[in-house]
Amino acid sequence: MNKIKEFFNRYSHVVMLAPFVICFTLFIIIPVIIAIGLSFTQYNAVTSPVFVGLKNYINIFSQDIDFMRDILPNTIEYALIVGPGGYILSFLLAWILAQLTKGPRTMLAVIIYSPSITAGVTVAVVWSVLFSGDRAGYLNSLLLRFGVIQSPQLWLTSPAYLMTIIIIVALWSSMGVGFLAMLSGILNVDPEMYEAAAIDGIHNRLQEVYYITIPMIKPQMLFGAVMSIVNTFSSAGLGVQLSGSNPTPMNAGQLLANHIDDYGFLRYEMGYASALSVVLLGIMWIFSKLAYRLFGEKD
Amino acid sequence: MTRKRPVLINPSKFEWSQLKFYFILIPLALFMVLPILYMFFSAFKPMDELFAYPPRFITTRPTFINFRKLLAATGTTNTPVTVYLFNSIVISIIVMVLTILFGTSAAYTLSKRQFRGKGLLFKINTLTLMFVPTTVSIPRYIVISKLGLLDNFWSQILPLLAMPVGLFLLKQFIDQLPDAVIEAARIDGATEYGILFRIVIPMIRPAVSTVAMLVFQNVWTNVEASRNYINRESLKTFAFYMSALTSSTGNSVAGQGMAAAASLIMFVPVFLLFIIMQSRVMNTMSYSGIK
């Protein structure tokens, strides 16, 4: 008994780290390694994987018509608008909120944050009714009443609108933890900084934001940027949830994440799906590198 | 002589110049809140109002019928909804407790102890902050099946315990604690475990509540684990039940009221938790910066 106690006290750092590190390794590190490994194979989840070299990657960029024609452009469009767009929006909102007194600020911040806690499924339930295709849909009914449209539009199944709707909904739910981090960062900037800056000749709010606020909250800006990458790519299932089908109508709302699900869980081409996952991980990694380049401290 | 400019950030009282910000924020907040209000009202609408034309936003005759129907409903294999709810609650509690336990002990060790590989470990964790689990759902499935956890209750718990953001926020917060406090406890003969439970955790309560909130949000709404790893209906979660409900009965008359009621059950606990915790959350977030 005493031996065990001694062991626990002597190697306490190992004991205290182990549970987290084990879970972290099992469910994050190893899956990423397996994904990379499987991406060089052909694997249908039943027979054992067959090594095929770079074939999957070559196929992604040369054979997969859906990928080059629809999915890559869609993903880039979606990622650029919801990622940097949502990020800039959440910084602006945080900055504006910081100009208000505490009571209204807290209330508005709670309202702006709350969409981000609606679960994926909930988002689909709510928005699919607002955009419902019959005349009882809220948007249709509103537009019909004001004579903007003559007949009800099938918002969610029409290729022309689906992407725009996905982007609106994703932006709606993008003011999450990163937004709160930036808000609290802005509120914590030492007021003397602004006073000193005013004496040194800064005379408008834009300069104040550019020369004081942003440099002072760089670490929070970086955290916010990383969180907005996470948010962008984890809400990428919206198209399928809203339109109710995978692939989405004419691939209009099809993003890389949906494409992976399509190949992995519907067609059981795990090797190919893994190669797609690696491409997606690569895209996310490039985005975060960019964020670190912009806001990281040079070491 | 330079005129001293008033500090405009975080003002203590209302001034007319702030009005322009309200002009921007109020319409925007309305846009943000309308879908949520819609969910709220729909959950309490009687059947005829749900499908009234023109659609009515606010319910005039609130009723609990949708909730009653939801609770009386059963899943595909006659599993009562209460079973799903029970599973969700149990899973959420276990994941919250374990994440906090594993997270604080790892964060404390990374923050205040000296050992080899410490810097590297934290760097890897920071790198994986941007990790989105769905990108590797296939390899995760393979890991779960190799561990023999398929169709096992724990497969809905273990994968969620690895939460880089949680560790990160906790560690950043513990970094702020003065070393002297911990040194003093050590001199008084406290073990590392004693220090963690009696000193560190009580001192970082804001960060612990924030992480608990984020974890809860994550678990309560998680559909993947039930969908991918579990076959037995009686082990699945409420979030899963809801996603099944909306995809099968999405547009049927009976389904919509129930879906709205279910959405509300998904949303309200997370929302209330945030409201209760919001000042602690803001406190934690001020240490969230990545350097």
Model ipTM value: 0.89
Q: Quickly state the pLDDT bin for B1 (edges 50, 70, 90).
A: very low
pLDDT higher for A240 or B187? B187
Q: Is the Cβ pair A16, B7 closer than 8 Å?
A: no
Task: Return residues 77-106 of A near B (CB < 8 Å).
Answer: 93, 96-102, 104, 106
A24 interaction partners in chain B (CB closer than 8 Å): 125, 128, 162, 164
Task: Provide the pLDDT for residue A122.
Answer: 81
Distance in Å, alpha carbon of A72 to nearest chain B alpha carbon = 16
> CA A217, CA B196: separation in Å to the nearest integer?
30
Percentage above 70 pLDDT, chain B: 93
Q: Is the Cβ pair A99, B121 closer than 8 Å?
A: no
Q: Is the Cβ pair A122, B108 closer than 8 Å?
A: no
The terminus-to-terminus CA distance of chain B in angstroms comes to: 38
pLDDT higher for B258 or B112? B112
Summarize pLDDT for A189-241 with one digit per residue, the tens. Answer: 988 888 888 888 888 888 989 999 999 999 999 999 999 988 888 877 788 88
Task: Provide the pLDDT for residue A30.
Answer: 95
Q: Is the pLDDT of residue B248 over 90?
A: no
Q: Cβ distance B129 to B165 under 8 Å?
A: yes
Q: Cβ distance B289 to A185 under 8 Å?
A: yes
Task: Provide the pLDDT for residue A140.
Answer: 83
Mean pLDDT on B265-283: 91
Q: Provide the 3-class DSSP secondary structure of residue A200.
A: coil
Task: Provide the pLDDT for residue B193.
Answer: 94
Distance in Å, alpha carbon of A126 to nearest chain B alpha carbon = 6
Mean pLDDT on B9-21: 85
Q: Quickly state the pLDDT bin for B42 (edges 50, 70, 90).
A: confident
Which residue pairs from B95-99 have beta carbons closer than 8 angstroms and sit at least 24 positions apart in sequence?
Answer: B95/B157, B95/B160, B95/B161, B95/B215, B95/B219, B96/B212, B96/B215, B96/B216, B96/B219, B98/A19, B98/B157, B98/B161, B99/B160, B99/B161, B99/B163, B99/B166, B99/B211, B99/B212, B99/B215
B282 interaction partners in chain A (CB closer than 8 Å): 180, 183-184, 187
Would you call A231 an interface residue with chain B, using a CB distance cutoff of 8 Å? no
| Of the candidate ranges A78-82, B37-41, B72-76, B103-107, the one whose mean pLDDT is the lowest | B72-76
The low-confidence residues of chain A, meaning pLDDT below 50, are none
Q: Quickly state the pLDDT bin for B173 (edges 50, 70, 90).
A: very high
pTM of the full structure? 0.91
DSSP H or E run through B201: helix B201-203
Domains of chain A from N-terminus onward: 70-255+275-295 (1.10.3720.10)
Please state which architecture CATH assigns to domain B83-285: Orthogonal Bundle (1.10)
Would you call B281 an interface residue with chain A, using a CB distance cutoff of 8 Å? yes
Q: Cβ distance A108 to A116 under 8 Å?
A: no
B42 interaction partners in chain A (CB closer than 8 Å): 129
Q: Is the pLDDT of residue B200 over 90?
A: yes
Query: Which stretches of A13-87 are assigned E, i.e. beta strand?
Result: 41-42, 50-51
Q: Which of B22, B39, B155, B54 is nearest to A124 (CA)?
A: B39
Would you call B12 an interface residue with chain A, using a CB distance cutoff of 8 Å? yes
DSSP H or E run through A294: helix A270-295
Task: Provide the pLDDT for residue A98.
Answer: 93
Q: Cβ distance B42 to B256 under 8 Å?
A: yes
> CA B170, CA B214: separation in Å to the nearest integer?
12
Average pLDDT over all residues of chain B: 87
